[in-house]
Structure 1
């Protein structure tokens, strides 16, 4: 049996429930599943879908090598999301606790983009068509 590979990034965060709520409010993501809660009361994984993209959030578990950006001193990956209205998406993220790192504006390479850091330390490039 052959199938196309699917990549589902898993973001390591201190609090998966809070992260899921943020991504739902800020990106319009839909929570599609949540694993049973462990002894610490946190789910081991929450699955989310935003448009055609799927991603997951899991708690930091240093003994497994799962470390959040705060544990690492910054993120190891940039997440890029392409949307119809980058300004509105950036404003929603900031309204829910993200901070602007690079303002969203028209870029010389033909895109309108900028960068925000979400409340969990992950960096997002928000991009779309120029104005």
Structure 2
């Protein structure tokens, strides 16, 4: 099964979180603070109804999930696919630029990223 989740980079994730909670009654989970500045977030997930939205603070100082090879990237798409390695290779063949090779993460999932020819940063992942 495949799915796509928007990943929004914002100037102030704390303010964005409050906005989502107020406007959409979102439940925010999986908040990961930036180790060097706990007031900033390198990842968070908002649950709005049956949908999810990932978000984080943007900025070249490491306050984003991972840096993209070109700036700026404001929206990232998180795609769960059965074969992230295959999707990654097909994307590079189709003209995408590598952002991060597919690697096994600490939780056993596999994840990698690329920037498509239109400037969108895609993350492809498969659960453990």
**Structure richer in helix, relative to its length:** 1
TM-score, normalised by the number of residues in structure 1? 0.44
Structure with the higher fraction of residues in strand conformation: 2
Over alpha carbons, which structure has the higher Rg? 1
